[in-house]
Homo-oligomer: A and B are copies of this chain.
Amino acid sequence: VKIAVDAMGGDFAPGEIVKGALQAAREYKQAIILVGDEEKVLAELGSDYPVELISIVHAPEVIAMGEHPAVAVRRKKNSSIVRATQLVKDGKASALVSAGSTGAAMASALLGLGRIKGIDRPAIAGVLPSEKGYTVLLDVGANVDCKPHNLQQFSVMGYLYAKRVLGIANPRVGLLSNGEEETKGSEVTLAAYPLLQQAGINFVGNIEGRDIFRGTVDVAVCDGFIGNIVLKAGEGIAGALYKTLKEEINKSWAAKIGIVMAIKALNRFKKRIDYAEYGGAPLLGVNGVSIICHGSSTAKALKNGIRVAMESVDNCLVDAILESISQTEISEGVGGELAKRSV
């Protein structure tokens, strides 16, 4: 089992990416294929790296953040993301990990790997820290405007991810809304509600924004427009709180000394709220494991993204989704009908 890593994607590529891949190779004894400009990758690897675990596939082209994803993916066959995806398609790698353009990773997966039968639209599943562990939030950006049956499919994929990869026995799935009552919601979520009830998952009903971080559910379902805003708002508020705390501490000597004494506790705190700790966001619904990491991924984040990829492969995530979707009557049946009627 090998993992393909897009060595050229991300704000700190290839330096941090190669470093993270090396850490993962050593720590997990994981075979990794670094896909990117061979010369640059070799320069980052240096002379002392585990040659039995690290191989390189040369891919000189790069897709920049500003490029139109679908167009760029079609044109740049020798870009690192397209070549990494191709390795998965050809069975030469079991999964791919990229911190490059999310749009390019998505377009590349859709074109190269294709959708799982029965899934109309793949979703990106963000894994956010909560009071009690982690909450899977999906979609966090793959689809802007969603139909009710899309939300139903997301709920099944999120449920399976939480169960298989996070190891939660019977994950609680909530539909993100503006109130807990069944009567609350937008046109789309009101129509999605009965579909989630029929999805064969542990659907607990509507949830509010605060539930994501309180850990009252394991999976929170929403469209990609809302999920993206909530994900980034969460990042923003965590950053703002940490900065504010530091500012206030720096105002007094007693506080500074006190904080030195509490530094271990603060570091544990920081670790628990750190997005990089979980690693990447899986792109669910495509025929293969594709993990999308934050653009500003450090070596640690990348290493954790590789861990997530390994866990997804080990737990046969793609097969589980395929099986579950084919068994439950979703999307084309009641879902499609209701969607057409109400939106």
Contacts and interface: CB of A to CB of B under 8 A. Distances in A.
Interface in A170-185: 176-179, 185
A43 interface: no
A134 to B, nearest CB: 12
A258 to B, nearest CB: 3
Best-surrounded residue of A189, A214, A251 (most CB of chain B within 10 A): A214
Contact of A236 (B141, B214, B241, B269): B214
A178 B225 contact: yes
How many monomers of this protein are in the complex?
A: 2
A236 B209 contact: yes
Given A186-B145, A236-B209, A236-B213, A229 B230 contact: yes
A239 interface: yes
B254 A232 contact: no
A211 interface: yes
A261 interface: yes
- In which size bucket is the chain A interface? 35 or more
Contacts of A169: none
Contacts of A176: 229
A268 interface: yes
A249 B230 contact: no
Contact of A131 (B212, B244, B248): B244
A72 interface: no
Task: Tell me whether chain A's interface is mostly helix, strand or loop, or mixed.
Answer: helix
A222 B260 CA distance: 42
A342 B262 CA distance: 55
A184 to B, nearest CB: 8
B254 A240 contact: no
A106 to B, nearest CB: 13
A327 interface: no
B248 A266 contact: yes
Interface string A119-161: 0000000000011000000000100110000000000000000
15 contacts: A131-B244, A145-B186, A178-B224, A208-B236, A209-B234, A213-B240, A215-B240, A226-B229, A230-B233, A238-B241, A245-B265, A248-B268, A254-B264, A255-B264, A258-B263
**What are the 3 A-B residue pairs with the smallest beta carbon separation, nearest first?**
A258-B261, A210-B236, A209-B232
